A and B are shown apart, each in its own frame.
Chain A
């Protein structure tokens, strides 16, 4: 078996030095390996003993093989090939550009092996090994340079497929929304959503591939939302992804829905770290700190209703059809300051609470009706949205300050709200904070964001096997 040598595995390092004492002096490996972050080793173990290794430098977008050796007794058993295979997988996964190495011109066996693996002679270095010439060889990884991820999203009432290149370039996206089906029920009906997903699924997939002028064979990996969301809806997307992964033998990448919303911003502009993400949607209100790709630290979240849910509930109180968010947003732009609403959970935490705000709106409407006053809906929308903006901006700015972060991104369906965008834009510019908002089109659920996120999960080496199961509620990790 092959293992990656860990920098703190002193016993293994000692073992390696002893076994290959013809190459290494005592302390050689520690000095270079422990202090140099670019130095890496993979080792081949038989009966838990090292019999071969590759020592390499991974420097930004390229990899250089420094040392490659198999104990004499274990040579000609394919161990070298297995180590090389493993190394090439690493290079493919990390999307590095090339592998280089030097080899003695008289080492026919090694040169033959490298040629077999696509290494080409670049130049000859005179007397590189004392009085023997060295050959500089290179393997270009052109075939894996571009990663095309097929994204699948079906967590709620949108069936969507998308193909994104290298996590940043959208090739094609198709979204089939069921909004008209659910409208008459005043919200998403889970079983109806599941039924619509299975009805639409091949149509949407076909349209996406046609739009991209690609076939499944061109796809590098398949990324799918596994949760959170409606379990029956998620199931159709996950089964579809697993089936495609099985039929075409492609890697399957599980993607958390919220990571998708965050990476929707990556389609606008490459994320810059560290950043604070404010996730606001029908199911989520969360502040997340990201120090690098695929590192999510939750600073706080809603203790009850999500902000989008609150918009829908307030919409019902003032008789606005589902989904109420965009309509309240429009009305708020027309309304004036007239009603007083309390700022919910106006404390020092990074948590939110919106169920109290919803109750305050219900009480206000009720009291006005009791007094025989007609509610001015635009003015109520204005006051409501103002309070929402107030609490969202206050806590987000506090997080940016406390963690000394200069980048903000908004994510989720409510990030399409123009009132919220305008205020954040104004405040970020005032406070000299760099900000990115997702395009309006990709604020709501879509597969482009899943494919974008899936790309970085792929690079991280995240994979799932065919037992991937949808999960209705799960933390972002």
Chain B
């Protein structure tokens, strides 16, 4: 079913970048893509306010929110998710979540197998494997070596998508979100009750892991 929504707000704070935009009538009318390093929590709301000002939009004009739920920086995820949750709950807006890996795969125009990867440290990554729009390996927390072994079994050309320079991977392209395309692809994704919108960390906390 196609939704009748016209105005979409997109936000991804799962890395040190703020990726956000307002899409109206199939056009991006204002957006931001900027690296804030450690200062994302300080500037996110300021930039979002500017985004609305530039678009000459009020938050109440938005019909649906698409928020990236992770994986990535735990703290980073919570910046955008708290904003999106409170926004949807208080102004009674539709909301849905997509993963950062979905957004990365969607933005990549390659015909090869697409492998978005995010550094999760200690030899691990968050990754998913996509063929066109289909997920062939679910988003997960996985050892980079295990992922590489899996990819070799596919016997198909693949390409990594990543902004983490320290990862030992070849055939890599940088991630630059195509906000219009992401919104077009996911705008009809099922709405979630704002109370139940939750991050997808894909990884337990260390305390929970140690508890077994």
Q: Tell me the chain A residues, 436-467 only, with Cβ under 8 Å from chain B.
A: 465-467
Q: Tell me the chain B residues, 71-115 only, with Cβ under 8 Å from chain A.
A: 74-75, 78-79, 81-83, 85-87, 89-91
Q: Tell me the chain B residues, 177-204 only, with Cβ under 8 Å from chain A.
A: 194-195, 198-199, 201
Residue B122 lies at the interface, judged by CB distance under 8 Å to chain A: no
The verdict on A240 contacting B41 (CB below 8 Å), with A191-B205, A194-B75, A246-B59 known, is no
Q: Which residues of the partner chain B approach A240 to less than 8 Å between Cβ atoms?
A: 82, 86
Q: Which of A192, A247, A470 contacts B86 (CB 8 A)?
A: A247
Would B79 and A235 count as touching, CB distance under 8 A? Answer: yes
For chain A, which range describes its interface: under 10, 10 to 19, 20 to 34, or 35 or more residues? 20 to 34
Q: Tell me the chain A residues, 241-274 only, with Cβ under 8 Å from chain B.
A: 242-244, 246-248
Q: Which of A184, A201, A206, A231 contacts B82 (CB 8 A)?
A: A201
User: A230: shortest Cβ distance to chain B, in Å?
Assistant: 11
User: Residue-by-residue, is A185-210 near B (CB-CB < 8 Å gives 1, otherwise 0)?
Assistant: 10001011011001101110110000
User: B85: shortest Cβ distance to chain A, in Å?
Assistant: 6
Q: Which residues of the partner chain A approach B85 to less than 8 Å between Cβ atoms?
A: 198, 201-202
Q: Which residues of the partner chain A approach B41 to less than 8 Å between Cβ atoms?
A: 235, 238-239, 469-470
Q: Which of A194, A199, A202, A247 contacts B59 (CB 8 A)?
A: A247
Q: Which residues of the partner chain A approach B87 to less than 8 Å between Cβ atoms?
A: 243, 247
Q: Tell me the chain B residues, 121-175 only, with Cβ under 8 Å from chain A.
A: none
Residue B46 lies at the interface, judged by CB distance under 8 Å to chain A: yes
Residue B2 lies at the interface, judged by CB distance under 8 Å to chain A: no
User: A73: shortest Cβ distance to chain B, in Å?
Assistant: 35
User: B208: shortest Cβ distance to chain A, in Å?
Assistant: 7
User: A155: shortest Cβ distance to chain B, in Å?
Assistant: 15
Q: Which of A185, A203, A232, A248 contacts B74 (CB 8 A)?
A: A232
Q: Identify whether the interface residues of B are mostly helix, strand, loop, or mixed.
A: helix
User: B205: shortest Cβ distance to chain A, in Å?
Assistant: 4
Total of A-B residue pairs, C-beta within 8 Å: 93
The verdict on A469 contacting B91 (CB below 8 Å), with A235-B79, A240-B86 known, is no
The verdict on A239 contacting B79 (CB below 8 Å), with A184-B211, A466-B45 known, is yes
Residue A101 lies at the interface, judged by CB distance under 8 Å to chain B: no
Residue A357 lies at the interface, judged by CB distance under 8 Å to chain B: no
Q: Which of A203, A231, A236 has the most CB of B within 10 A?
A: A236
Q: Which residues of the partner chain B approach A235 to less than 8 Å between Cβ atoms?
A: 41, 75, 78-79, 82
Cα distance A248–B85 in the bound complex, in angstroms: 15
Name which residue of chain A comes closest to B79, CB basis. A239
Cα distance A467–B42 in the bound complex, in angstroms: 5
Residue A214 lies at the interface, judged by CB distance under 8 Å to chain B: no
Would A239 and B83 count as touching, CB distance under 8 A? Answer: yes
Cα distance A170–B11 in the bound complex, in angstroms: 36
Name which residue of chain A comes closest to B42, CB basis. A469
Would A243 and B199 count as touching, CB distance under 8 A? Answer: no
Q: Which residues of the partner chain A approach B48 to less than 8 Å between Cβ atoms?
A: 246
Would B42 and A195 count as touching, CB distance under 8 A? Answer: no
Would A239 and B205 count as touching, CB distance under 8 A? Answer: no
User: B77: shortest Cβ distance to chain A, in Å?
Assistant: 9
Cα distance A194–B199 in the bound complex, in angstroms: 11
User: Residue-by-residue, is B41-76 near A (CB-CB < 8 Å gives 1, otherwise 0)?
Assistant: 111111011000000000100000000000000110
Residue A216 lies at the interface, judged by CB distance under 8 Å to chain B: yes
User: A202: shortest Cβ distance to chain B, in Å?
Assistant: 4
Give 5 CB contacts A-B under 8 Å.
Answer: A185-B207, A192-B205, A194-B75, A194-B78, A205-B89
Q: What 13 new A-B contacts, CB under 8 Å, besides A203-B195, A232-B75, A243-B45?
A: A184-B211, A191-B74, A192-B207, A192-B208, A194-B74, A194-B75, A199-B198, A202-B195, A239-B79, A240-B86, A243-B83, A466-B46, A470-B41
Residue ranges of B at the interface with A (Cβ–Cβ < 8 Å): 39, 41-46, 48-49, 59, 74-75, 78-79, 81-83, 85-87, 89-91, 194-195, 198-199, 201, 205-208, 211
